Amino acid sequence: MNKIIIVESPSKSKTISGYLGGKYTVLSSKGHICDLATTGKGGLGIDIDNGFIPDYRIIDGKESLVKSLQKACKGNQVYLATDPDREGEAIAYHLARELNLDLNDLNRIEFHEITKQAVNDALLHPHTINMKMVDSQESRRMIDRILGFKLSKLLQRKIGSKSAGRVQSATLLLIVNLEKEIQAFIPEAYYEMEAIFKAFKLKISEINGVKIDSKNRIKDRKILEDLKSRLLSFTVSDISKKQIKKQSYPTYTTSTMQQDASIRLGFSPTKTMSIAQALYEGKNIGSETVGLITYMRTDSTRLSDIFVKSVEDYILNTYGTRYLGSVKTKNQKGMQDAHEGIRPTSISRTPDSLKPYLSNDEYKLYNLIYKRTLASLMSAAVFNQTKVEFTNTDSLWTTQGSELTFDGYLKVYGKEEEESDFIPNFALGDSYNADKINILDKETQPKSRYTEASLIKDMEDLGIGRPSTYAQTIATLKEREYIKLEKRMIHPTEQGILTIDKLNEYFDSIINVKYTANMESDLDKIASGDLAKEDELTSFYQSFMPIYDKALKNMESKYPIPTDEICPECGSPLVIRLGKYGEFTSCSNYPNCNYIKKEVNEEDNDTGIVCPVCHKAHIVKRISKSGKNKGSIFYACDNYPKCKTIFNDMPTSEVCDNCGSLMLKDKDGNLYCSNHCMEEPKEVFICPECGKGHLVARTAARGKNKGNTFYGCTNFPKCKVIIEDTPTHEVCPKCGSMMLKDKDGILYCYRKCSEAKAPIVVDQTKEVLCPECGKGHLVARTAGKGKNKGNTFFGCSRYPRCKRIVSLEEYNNLLNK
């Protein structure tokens, strides 16, 4: 019996295989293998009427993966080592179901860091799948499916929004509410005063015993102007000094890591999590592959005792006793504390020692995590803070400064974190005359818009989502075009604001911060066994559906939108409608009139040139919206799909003097014939198969021949000819076909009519059908190895489906028949 471990990620399986050698086979599920079906009532994949029974199906494209796992695991001992969270537990459950594993078996293992010790320890302590955590994940998935599907379809139909969701919409609500607060803000003018000296600056803090601060601002400029006219010398009236200790921060959680990476490195949350995932799963460090950080989805700052001891020893040996601090932890409401904080797996792997093995971005994030963790266990930085007060007539003025006396954790975290602010030495009773006194015009400011970092902080503080959802939620809002980033600030779009306005109108009891946070709390209760899954789902459904039905009936639709245009076919008004691919303008008299206005915009510009193929429509400029050429400009017939004429370069009104074809202009401004008739013969090879297209050199982008040059026909996909050797303008003296030149410079016939060495070609030899399958054709090949190396043989063009091989003699016999 073999022992098999299944993890989620292929790169993680590679790392673990390196630790375990040949004792275990490590396979990957490549994430989730199952999800809710999109069939059944409402396409939800949930049998609501019979107790919310989910209908799971294997995800499209993963059928062969599941079959290969089933084959590999049959009759063997299987350990499920998916991520140690709810999603990981659900993946383990689905794997167990599809692999016919007993849910009572001890086949679930967990580790929070991918190190040899952690993996071996996990194998010593297997346990059963935690079905309470599975219930929690299943509840979240079903609630999000019901709410997301129904709200998304409603908003798509009514206002053209792309989607809505429990966490997504609550987050968008925060952004939109802040934007409305900013837009409604009315600034108020106020004034401040400062006195400028050669070595320092004073700020007014009291007038006639009344303290001046943000709650008691000077709003009358005349008060300060009157005071300014009476100001004499400034006399030191009080000096106070105290020692301030600045403690280091706890180690990173998912939220604080994303915030710091955004502020310090300029990384988006999605980029941060992608890099952290790679560091967690393992990197090749010299001769070994090792996970460099612990699990990166956590809300805890806890550190293991073993790791803390290793760091304390490192600090003592590297910096000395004075720099040794204590563990910093931070508890907050709703914290699951399922995993440690994010930390290096070994404090001995310094950022500089790993720099040669990491990309630039990986190094930057690892350096941030390493220094934060090390600093969290170091002693406080110490400052001497001095505050000096000056009197002048009826006013009090202050200045203050600080001096770093012991760097503590700043030794590794960076002194720029807390720079010293020096002021001169003052003595009581000393008097100074100001060089200049300024009255400053100020204005109250609205709140700042969210950055990605500050939004994540609020999401965490308010309990919206979980560590694993922050980055994806923000990415979804960008993708749906509900928000946009301008100078790193988040602005809601018009569609984002409209979406929230409509949701507020009907779903304010569900799409709000409190409801979303309470839902997360209920999911935690399901995971701990304090709440039944069906009770939570029933409660949600019974509260949601009456509101949804009311919105479906009463929500005003944005479409159709009236226009001032008239239908040219029936005279009815034109309206803007919403279709599958966005807005379009059509006749309001539909279905009696099917007129649709052809939009002309920057992506579809009429060149005025009549199509040379159909002679009915014009050639128009378009921009590719998908595929490898996405964003590239091309030119096509406006009569598409009836006419499929396409040019990569810009058509002109000129025609070729030689053949009368359309002339094209390339990116360098050079004219050439669209029929290529004016090109030098050595550059044009008419396809020997179809006789219509010409052969062009291409580079294989994938497969075993990746990077190799081959020649294909421009008439693809109608003609699928592929030639691996170089075409020439020589003709075969026997049959008149094109001669090809192999890598050794030997010429041979494309049709293989002579006994010269044949190339490896695909689907070109049509003279002889394969005697085995009767579908493919026999293709001449040259043996590349073995005792027959260099000899010619013939194989079926349908290889590897058909593996028939015939000798040259047998081929000639078949040919003669």
Distance CA 151, CA 161 (A): 10
Name the β-bridge partners of 796. Answer: 778
Q: Nearest Cα to 578, choosing from 158, 143, 265?
A: 158
Q: Nearest Cα to 113, choosing from 105, 101, 121, 124?
A: 121
Distance of CA 11 to the CA centre of its chain: 18
Alpha carbon distances (Å) from 638 to 413, 598, 647: 62, 10, 12
Distance CA 599, CA 579 (A): 14
Distance CA 95, CA 216 (A): 64
Which of the 8 DSSP states describes residue 741? E
Q: Is 58 helix (H, G, I), strand (E, B) or coil?
A: strand
Alpha carbon distances (Å) from 472 to 146, 160, 167, 477: 19, 22, 10, 9
Which of the 8 DSSP states describes residue 615? S
Q: What is the dihedral of CA 423, 428, 433, 434, to 10 degrees?
A: 40
Q: Is 142 helix (H, G, I), strand (E, B) or coil?
A: helix
- Assess contact for 603 and 614: CB atoms under 8 A: no
Please, which residues have CB within 8 angstroms of residue 145's CB and are 6 or more apart in sequence? 36, 44, 45, 46
Please, which residues have CB within 8 angstroms of residue 394's CB and are 6 or more apart in sequence? 207, 208, 227, 230
- Assess contact for 655 and 662: CB atoms under 8 A: yes
Alpha carbon distances (Å) from 673 to 613, 684, 697, 810: 15, 12, 19, 47
Which structure tokens are listed for 787?
């005792």
Q: Nearest Cα to 63, choosing from 28, 33, 92?
A: 33
- By annotation, the residues acting in catalysis are 295
Which structure tokens are listed for 542?
């019974």
Element holding 402 (H helix, E strand): strand 395-406
Instruction: Tell me if the bond preceding 492 is cis, omega within 30° of 0.
Output: no
Question: Read out DSSP for 483-521?
Answer: EEEETTEEEE-HHHHHHHHHHHHHHTTTSSHHHHHHHHH
Please, which residues have CB within 8 angstroms of residue 178's CB and are 6 or more apart in sequence? 447, 449, 450
- Assess contact for 796 and 776: CB atoms under 8 A: yes
> What residue has token string 């078996």?
105
Which of the 8 DSSP states describes residue 705? T
Distance CA 146, CA 310 (A): 48
Element holding 404 (H helix, E strand): strand 395-406
Which structure tokens are listed for 327?
């563990």
> What residue has token string 């005697």?
771
Residue 571, classified by CB atoms within 10 Å of its CB into exposed (0-12), middle (13-18) or buried (19+), is: exposed
Name the β-bridge partners of 304. Answer: none
Residue 457, classified by CB atoms within 10 Å of its CB into exposed (0-12), middle (13-18) or buried (19+), is: middle
Element holding 729 (H helix, E strand): strand 726-731
Please, which residues have CB within 8 angstroms of residue 29's CB and are 6 or more apart in sequence? 6, 7, 8, 65, 69, 82, 91, 95
